[in-house]
Amino acid sequence: MEFISPTKGRLTFDEVFEEILTYASLHPDDYYRLIIGTDSQLREETCFVTALIIHRQGKGGRFFFTRKRDAHVRSLKQRIFYEASLSLSVASILTEKLAESGHEFNIEIHLDVGSNGATKTLVKEVVGMVSGSGYPCRIKPDSYGASTVADRYTK
């Protein structure tokens, strides 16, 4: 899996993981969260972007993203669930890597659904899917990992 950093360029997952650890080691007494969010944009093909963000509480952060294009047209419901599954996939790999390294971070999933708009009927189902997988999640307007960071790179 290849990620893109706006400052470092193309990175492997292992390189992203090292960047996260290095960033957190600069200020070890601060509180950090790892946020994963996916958004998609439907055009001739569907572009899915998953963002991986290390947020230093109250002091900014860094992010990395991976992009996947799919020619298969999906309904809104299918896209939302696929977005959640892409985020869960990255979270699972990250959780495993953290366990191997002995480091601990809070991981949360940001979903591109909200109480208003076309996705309001999907909130309960997709939140249940993520929560059932063991990760806390946020929905709009608090899900900036998906609705702001990932969204920016789907265009």
Residue-wise pLDDT tens digits, 78-126: 999 999 999 999 999 999 999 999 999 999 999 999 999 999 999 999 9
73 pLDDT above the threshold of 80 = no
Query: Is pTM, for the whole model, over 0.85?
Result: yes
Which residues, other chains included, contact 149 with Cβ-Cβ below 8 Å and sequence gap of 6+?
37, 51, 53, 63, 65
pLDDT at position 44 is 86
Query: pLDDT confidence of 25, banded at 50, 70, 90?
Result: very high
Q: Rg of the Cα trace of the chain?
A: 15
**Which residues lie across from 62 on neighbouring strands?**
54
Distance CA 132, CA 69 (A): 27
Quick one: pLDDT at residue 150? 97
Can the peptide bond before residue 136 be classed as cis, meaning omega within 30 degrees of 0?
A: no
pLDDT at 100: 96
Q: What confidence tens digit (pLDDT) does each residue in 43-59 have?
A: 889 999 999 999 999 99
Check if the beta carbon of residue 112 is closer than 8 Å to that of residue 42. no
Query: Would you state the structure tokens that stand for residue 44, as one six-digit string?
Result: 């001739």
10 by DSSP, 3-state: which?
strand
C-alpha to C-alpha distance for 56 and 82, rounded to whole angstroms: 28
Residue 19 pLDDT:
98
87, 109 contact by CB (below 8 A): yes
Output the six-digit token pair for 117: 């708009």
- Residue 55's SS3 state is strand
Half-sphere exposure of 50 (CA within 13 A, CB side): 23
